């Protein structure tokens, strides 16, 4: 029936507050399973899928429709790991698993500080993590049973998450 049942390999969305380890985790997971890592931030920048630069938030104003149009064909093929700090504008049917990475506030503070975030950019992201904004967004946008929250405080956590997700990928098979 639905087109999403045609893919032979799963699509995974890795989301979470900036700094929680999405790109690190997605890169390792893609490598371990020969999946395609789709970093939305890079895609938006490289293909100009935005409506200019937001001076206050210091990021591109992402054009969600252009991003979804750009990705439709590869998502239909399956075997993608999408990496983005937002999740409510992708078609629900694209994903077989939605991973929400979570990091302890003080650990995240240090990571973002190291990345050069200061002032409201830093505090907004810490607040985003405290209030579990991405977990709520994921639960509102996808079936509860495909949303998985994973702790990402330490390098051991990354190794453990990549190992268990790799196991999940290997066991996954199309349901029709
Ligand atoms: P995101 O893509 O979510 O913004 P990154 O993967 O770019 O996060 O990670 C941000 C920084 O934090 C990187 O320097 C990375 O090495 C580090 N980092 C991410 N996750 C962890 C973790 N679980 N343990 C230790 N360091 C981490
Ligand atoms: Mn990233």
Check which CATH number belongs to the domain holding 93 and give it.
3.40.50.300
The pLDDT assigned to 57 comes to 80
DSSP state of 5: G
Q: At what angle do helices 40-47 and 64-77 cross, to 10 degrees?
A: 120
On whether residue 2 sits in a domain, the answer given is: no
ipTM of the complex: 0.99
78 lines ligand 1 (CB under 6 A): no
CA distance 59 to 109: 19
Higher pLDDT, 6 or 65: 65
pLDDT tens-digit series, residues 75-99: 999 999 999 999 999 999 999 999 9
d(CA 77, CA 27): 19
Residue position matching structure tokens 């790991």: 81
Note the pLDDT tens digit of each residue in 11-33: 999 999 999 999 999 999 999 99
Flag whether 174 is in a domain. no
Q: What pLDDT band is residue 108 in, cutting at 50, 70 and 90?
A: very high
Shortest-distance atom of ligand 1 to CA 85: 3
Tally the domains of the chain: 1
pLDDT at residue 5 tops 90: no
Domain boundaries, position 93: 8-161
Please give the structure tokens belonging to residue 20. Answer: 């929680």
Ligand 1 atom 19 nearest Cα = 21
């Amino acid at each position: 029936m639905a087109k999403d049942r045609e893919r032979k390999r799963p699509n995974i969305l890795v989301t979470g507050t900036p700094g929680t380890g999405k790109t690190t985790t997605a890169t390792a997971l893609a490598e371990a399973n020969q999946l395609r890592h789709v970093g939305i931030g890079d895609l938006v920048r490289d293909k100009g899928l935005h409506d200019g630069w937001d001076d206050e938030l210091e990021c591109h104003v992402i054009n969600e429709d252009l991003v979804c149009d750009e990705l439709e064909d590869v998502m239909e093929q399956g075997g993608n790991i999408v990496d983005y700090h937002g999740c409510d504008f992708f078609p629900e049917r694209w994903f077989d698993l939605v991973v929400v990475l979570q990091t302890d506030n003080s650990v995240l503070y240090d990571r973002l500080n190291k990345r050069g975030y200061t002032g409201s950019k830093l505090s907004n992201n810490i607040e985003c993590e405290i209030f579990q904004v991405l977990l709520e967004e994921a639960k509102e946008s996808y079936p509860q049973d495909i949303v998985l929250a994973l702790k990402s405080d330490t390098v051991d956590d990354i190794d453990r998450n990549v190992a268990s997700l790799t196991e999940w990928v290997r066991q996954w098979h199309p349901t029709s």
